[in-house]
Amino acid sequence: MQALSNGFDSLLGLNADSPSIGQLGVRCLAFYAVAVAMVRLGDKRFLGKHTAFDVILAVILGSVVSRAITNNASILGMLAAGFMLVALHLVISKAAFHSDRFGTLVKGRARMLIRDGDVDWEAMKKSSITRQDLAGLLRTEAGTRDAAEIELAHLERSGDVSFIKKPADPRVVDIKIENGVQIVSVRLG
């Protein structure tokens, strides 16, 4: 057992004041694997859209793991802190799932920006979204230049803006007469 412990110490440079480049490389590999395990124990939001709540955990977890890699703190202490952060995030996420009030406190709330083509400029101001920002979002996210074409737009808790377009009015696209019968083609969307 002592030989195994000495092997780990030597491989990772655990007792070294200044680990070698090879030891730092092995630490990076080892702590990358541990960090992936931590994230997998958390939830899948690490891999998708994030709220500020999720980003904060990612930044802190990165800081904790980097301190363990660069020998600026106790490796076991940093690993314990990393797992504690992930566990805390999971507990808070579960509590937010079960309590809308708590979820709003931790993650914020969505804000209505456009309703039936009318822009709520007060909500835009509170969200720090300028006219130019809205114009860019309409073009890139909604595929339009005109807010009047939007039924609803929300600033989501993740910071993304989601758009629901108004249904297109039906319009006549073709009129023809065949065998004495008038045929009218109408596009509904």
Whole-number mean pLDDT of the chain? 82
H-type helices in the chain, by residue range?
A: 2-12, 21-41, 52-69, 75-98, 100-107, 121-126, 131-137
pLDDT(147) > 80:
yes
**Cβ atoms of residues 97 and 110 within 8 Å:** no
- Whole-angstrom Cα distance, residue 118 to residue 115? 5
* All domains of the chain in start order, with CATH: 2-105 (no CATH), 110-189 (3.30.240.20)
Mean pLDDT of 15-42: 74
The answer, yes or no, to whether residue 148 has pLDDT greater than 90, is: yes
Digit-coded pLDDT (tens) for 82-115: 888 888 888 888 898 999 998 888 888 899 999 9
User: For the segment 44-89, what is each residue's pLDDT rounded down to a tens digit?
Assistant: 555 455 677 777 788 888 888 787 777 666 777 777 888 888 888 8
Predicted confidence at residue 189, as pLDDT, reads 61
Confidence (pLDDT) at 48: 53
The pTM is what? Answer: 0.59
Token pair recorded at residue 19: 């680990």
- What is residue 50's predicted lDDT score, i.e. its pLDDT? 67
